[in-house]
Amino acid sequence: MAATVSAAAFRRSVTSERQLQAAVLNCIKLRAFRTVYAFAIPNEAKRSPQLAARMIKQGLRPGVADLCIMQTGGRTGWLELKSAKGKQSPAQKHFQNICSTLGHRYAVAHTLDEALDTLKQWGAL
């Protein structure tokens, strides 16, 4: 029989950015309104210099947030996920500035609770 873990204990156990991203996407899948479409931007993968150059030519942009949250009415939010001590890179700060200039919502979350609070504020949950 599988052990049951409380929500609070689960939230404390999410430590890496990968774990946090998976947990956020799972919550979106389970709890988001049907009018919400969310997807990940796979910018962090390790690549050869040749593949990275090719992907940049094809439109990959460093610093783009981890998740894009699309909603009705053309509302779009960008959610950058960080580990507890994670900091934004200069490219990520630049992308945040682009979002601000273009009127897109942008947030950084270090915990599952922060991410869910942001999604609630955006009306996605």
Which domains, ranges and CATH numbers included, belong to the chain? 11-121 (3.40.1350.10)
Q: What is the pTM of this model?
A: 0.82
Q: How far is CA 67 from CA 1, 50, 54, 111, in A?
A: 34, 25, 22, 14
Residues 11 and 105: their CA atoms lie apart, in Å, by 24
Lowest-confidence region among 58-67, 89-98, 102-111: 58-67
Please name the residue that has the structure tokens 């939010």. 77
Give residue-wise pLDDT tens across range 20-57.
999 999 999 999 889 999 999 887 767 788 887 888 88
Give residue-wise pLDDT tens across range 51-87.
878 888 888 888 999 999 999 999 999 999 999 889 9
DSSP secondary structure string, 54-95? HHHHTT--TT--SEEEE-GGG-EEEEEE--TT----HHHHHH
